[in-house]
Amino acid sequence: MARADSEDGRRTLERTRQLFKSNLASKAELDAADARFSRVTASIRYAEATVTSAEVGVENTRIRAPFDGTVLTKNADVGEIVAPFASSANSRGAVVTMADMHSVQVEADVSESNITRVKPGQPCEIVLDAYPDRRYPGYVHKIVPTADRAKATVMTKVAFRTMDDRVLPEMSAKVMFLSREDDGAKAGAAPVLTIPLSSVTTRHDRKVVLRVRDGTVSEVPVTVGEVIGDRIAIREGIAPGDQMVLRPDPSLTTGSKVKPRGQ
């Protein structure tokens, strides 16, 4: 409507100017036509500003995530008030909680005495507690420049080089920091047989495990290798698939009868 009035006001102003030049219209009529055209032009600008304000208002109702990700939790329901930083007791600070699943990292606490052996970019192996048989390659992404005085540790953030859908936020994991030389050597090395460290005991000045076959225990001497976390490498003595006592009791010897827990 304002644009239609503007066109009519423009034509009226042009006719009044021509009539004024021919002395057929007074100066007052010319001023009135000019003022009417100015009012209509101002009303158009006001209407355009009102439209822009409405568009901004509509845009403020749109909720956009700052990055592509996956919604983890829904924090607000329909009808609830959402305000920045939850400024009131009856408002929520966020509509949803989301995460970029491709940027998941492991936060590992490294002892202060060993932090000098950890460098940014250093290769690592990540083992999730939920999937102990799967090892994920990773690297040291960042060493947080502060320490925890109570635990005497420094937080280190380890990123995944490759990951799959089984890796979820808030999972528990173990991280093994590797030297660059070991990283290349282990890539083509044969698998190492490891068993729980508690399964190895010392009897008669030799390392043995108590192997279980058909419900009978037998002492088997073993040659052990390096300790890897809570496990130890076995070089000779037993084969993959052998069953053994997890925590050997001194009363158990060759010929003792045992049965698996729950049977």
| 208 φ, ψ (degrees, to nearest 5) | -135, 160
Q: Contact, 138 vs 159, CB < 8 A?
A: yes
Please tell me the predicted confidence (pLDDT) of residue 188: 47
Range(s) within the chain of domains with CATH label 2.40.420.20: 191-263
* CATH superfamily of the 106-187 domain: Efflux pump adaptor protein, beta barrel domain (2.40.30.170)
Query: Which residues 6+ apart lie within 8 Å of 20 measured at CB?
Result: 26, 27, 29, 30
Residue 189 clears pLDDT 60, i.e. is over it: no
- More confident of the two residues 210 and 94: 210
Least confident of 64-73, 86-95, 149-158: 86-95
Mean pLDDT of 79-84: 80
Its CATH class, for the domain covering 191-263, is: mainly beta
- Looking at residue 190, the DSSP 8-state letter turns out to be P
| 83 φ, ψ (degrees, to nearest 5) | -135, 150
Tokens 């009417």 — which residue? 36
Alpha-helix residue ranges (DSSP H) falling in 99-200: 180-187
Q: Contact, 207 vs 223, CB < 8 A?
A: yes
- Global confidence as pTM: 0.47
Please tell me the predicted confidence (pLDDT) of residue 39: 87
**How far apart are the C-alpha atoms of 128 and 132, rounded to whole Å?**
6
Range(s) within the chain of domains with CATH label 2.40.30.170: 106-187
Residue 244 clears pLDDT 80, i.e. is over it: yes
Chain mean pLDDT for the chain: 86
Q: Contact, 173 vs 126, CB < 8 A?
A: yes
**How far apart are the C-alpha atoms of 183 and 161, rounded to whole Å?**
13
Q: Measuring CA to CA, which residue among 183, 174, 187, 185 is closest to residue 133?
A: 174
Residue 184 clears pLDDT 50, i.e. is over it: no
Mean pLDDT of 246-251: 88
Residue 181 clears pLDDT 50, i.e. is over it: no
Count of CB atoms within 10 A of residue 85's CB?
Answer: 7
Residue 40 clears pLDDT 90, i.e. is over it: no
SS3 188: coil
SS3 103: helix
